[in-house]
Chain A
Amino acid sequence: MIVDAHVHLMTDTTGWYAYKKSAGGSDARAWDESATVRLLDESGIDRCWLFTLAGLYGFNDWRSANDQVTEAARLHPDRFVPFCTAFPNQDPEGAAAEIRRCVGAGSKGVKFHPWLQSFPANSAYLYPALEVCAQHKLPVLFHTGTPPYSQPFQVMEQARRFPTVPFVIGHFGKIMALDAIRSAELCSNVWLETSGAQVADLQYAIERIGADRILFGTDLPIGGAASAKWNMAKIRSAVKDEGQRAAIFGGNAERLIL
């Protein structure tokens, strides 16, 4: 069972899609839920945590973007675990209310992208939203690795304040992998998601915290099936123990979703 803890529904209303089109690339197209399912099939991924991409941009209607994700999961319940998002910097209480609404519609977790959504990850105006996560035991995945807004230690700050909420450091902190691993070492409610991790980062993380809080992720559809395969190859290179591999490839992610 392979579970990917980082996949986006990339529709043609996203800023990233427009950027991809300008930069060129075989992934520069709109991926609706059927195309995303086909991509999972092609990549050998059984199930994924699904995030909006359009909804991470304030100029889009992020509430209806949340609806798109829950609808995709309703159509493909065995393939998609729906996550929602909210903009705490517009209205902290409104963000909390939106997460509550999405939980009612089936959301199993929350995705924040502090860089695209324009807030430092340690902001106090996230507290009402994170209170809702604590009540519903929702895992919260943050994009990280792009300072100044998306630093692993900023996520750890929130993890200390909300010790019952599982916080997932997306992209393994990328260039800030050392801080990501240290955050997980210091806070037992911090998980690390592997898209963006290098082999050496993975090996070091397993030495420090073991394999139980590491989640396989790809950031699909960006990079397409080729990127998924590369992300799997990194895990295979770094992790030789079969039990640890199975945990990272899916067991850990399944444990987090209630």
Chain B
Amino acid sequence: MIFDFHCHYSPEFFRYRDYRMDLDALIAEMDRHGVARAVLGPAGEYAAYATDQGNAFVRDAARRFPSRFVAFASINPWARAAGIEALRRAHNEHGAVGLILHPILQGFEANDPLVFPLVEAALKLDLVIYVTGGAPYLAMPYKIADLAGRYPEGRFVMGHAGWDFHFDVPYCLEACPNLWAETSKNGLANLEALSRRFGAARLLFGSDYPFSSYEGELEKIRLLPGLDDAGREAIFSVNARRLLRLEDTA
């Protein structure tokens, strides 16, 4: 079974260019590649500022395909109290089990005190917190580790395994046992260094769809050297299900 920890859906959005997505096509793409389930978050402007609408798109997708999607909510921390209220709604009324923070699109530093009240609200709701990682300067790994380190009771995921800041990522995972690394976009050599250092337990397969492809991202994990079948299974689904406490899903 394959569980995708980082997939996007918004019907139309902008990210350098216009994108159109079709939910049935996404399901077909997942089927084609044997992806059973995906964490879904909004994209483009719906991840940046129009998050209420973006979260509603994700809610509707998860309602239509409850066995295929797990809803995460995007909230811009600059919305402050209203954002916290929106997060509560997303969880209580829409069933979102995670919070996505996107420092680059949302314009804040990952460890800015601005984000603390939102993170604290998310932890009260027992949500997993995914932080898109790897862009200088806002989302560098040490900043995400600084945030995760403040809340050792929380569960944090560093998106893209810190991308090109791979020198820093092992130190961040070492310092923060409550931090996981999601694999999309990052290269084989960097991911291999992490899996050799920490075993497979700290890595979560993600596709970054539609910005990356299932074909490439799955192939990458299948090719990752030094892993046995159990390790690959852990990255592909066991770690994600455990992190999200979805032990019921086969």
Contacts and interface: CB of A to CB of B under 8 A. Distances in A.
Interface stretch (A58-66, A102-110, A232-240): A232-240
B78 interface: no
Chain A: interface secondary structure? helix
Interface string B204-232: 00001011110110011001111000000
B30 to A, nearest CB: 15
Contact of A234 (B15, B189, B213, B224): B213
A26 B226 contact: yes
Contact of B170 (A23, A200, A226): A23
A166 B223 CA distance: 34
B64 interface: no
A234 B216 contact: yes
Interface in A185-213: 196, 198-200, 204, 207
Residue of A145, A207, A223 most packed against chain B (CB within 10 A): A223
Contacts of A227: 187-189
B213 A24 contact: no
A25 interface: yes
Nearest to B104: A175
Interface residues of A, number: 30
A252 B210 CA distance: 27
B6 to A, nearest CB: 13
A200 B17 CA distance: 10
B135 to A, nearest CB: 6
A199 B216 contact: yes
B2 to A, nearest CB: 16
Given A26-B225, A199-B216, A204-B17, A230 B187 contact: yes
B42 interface: no
A199 to B, nearest CB: 5
A90 interface: no
Of A146, A178, A229, most buried by chain B (CB within 10 Å of CB) is A229
A147 B165 CA distance: 12
B211 A200 contact: yes
Interface string A218-258: 00001110110110011011100000000000000000000
Contact of A200 (B16, B136, B193, B224): B16
Nearest to B139: A175
Interface string A115-157: 0000000000000000000000000000001110000000000
A20 B167 CA distance: 10
B155 interface: no
Nearest to A181: B16
B185 interface: yes
A146 B166 CA distance: 12
B9 interface: no
B211 A226 contact: no
A174 interface: yes
B16 A233 contact: no
A175 B15 CA distance: 14
Given A24-B193, A234-B213, A237-B216, A223 B188 contact: yes
Contacts of A236: 215-216
A93 interface: no
B163 interface: yes
A240 B163 CA distance: 26
A67 interface: no
A207 B224 CA distance: 32
A25 B216 contact: no
A20 B170 CA distance: 13
B164 interface: yes
Contacts of A223: 187-189, 192
A206 to B, nearest CB: 11
Interface in B136-166: 136, 163-164
B197 interface: yes
Contacts of A224: 188-189, 225
Contact of A175 (B163, B196, B211, B216): B163
Given A204-B16, A238-B213, 20 more contacts: A23-B197, A25-B196, A25-B225, A26-B225, A26-B226, A198-B212, A199-B212, A199-B213, A223-B192, A224-B188, A224-B225, A226-B188, A226-B220, A227-B187, A230-B220, A230-B223, A236-B215, A236-B216, A237-B212, A237-B213
27 contacts: A20-B189, A23-B170, A23-B197, A25-B196, A147-B136, A175-B134, A175-B163, A178-B16, A199-B211, A199-B213, A200-B15, A200-B210, A222-B187, A223-B187, A223-B188, A223-B192, A224-B189, A224-B225, A227-B187, A227-B189, A230-B188, A230-B219, A230-B220, A233-B213, A233-B216, A233-B220, A236-B215
Nearest first, the 10 A-B pairs at minimum CB distance are A237-B213, A226-B223, A233-B216, A200-B211, A223-B189, A223-B188, A227-B188, A26-B225, A24-B196, A23-B193
